[in-house]
Amino acid sequence: MRTITPGFMQLAEQYLPHLMILDYRLGDGNGGELYREIKTNAQLNNIPIMLFSADSKALLEL
């Protein structure tokens, strides 16, 4: 599995969005892992995140 985290994290730290919307089932990564990485980043952890998925069982894994 490729990770999208490094490039995404750099952009997020540069632009500091007011809200992030993530799909749990990303084509090139895992939205749950990305969510946890964002929440452990001191610069980004206060940004609200909406996490969604078409797979109803996926969100139970969090």
User: How far is residue 30 CA from its own chain's centroid?
Assistant: 8
Instruction: Count CA atoms within 13 Å of residue 52 on its CB side.
Output: 4
Q: What are phi and psi for residue 32, nearest 5 degrees?
A: -65, -45
pLDDT given for residue 31 in this prediction:
83
Selected residue with higher pLDDT from 3 and 24: 24
pLDDT given for residue 5 in this prediction:
64
The β-bridge partners of 29 are 26
pLDDT tens per residue, range 14-62: 999 999 998 888 777 778 888 999 999 999 999 999 988 887 776 676 6
Annotate 22-51 with DSSP letters as a single string. Answer: EESEETTEEHHHHHHHHHT-TTTTTS-EEE
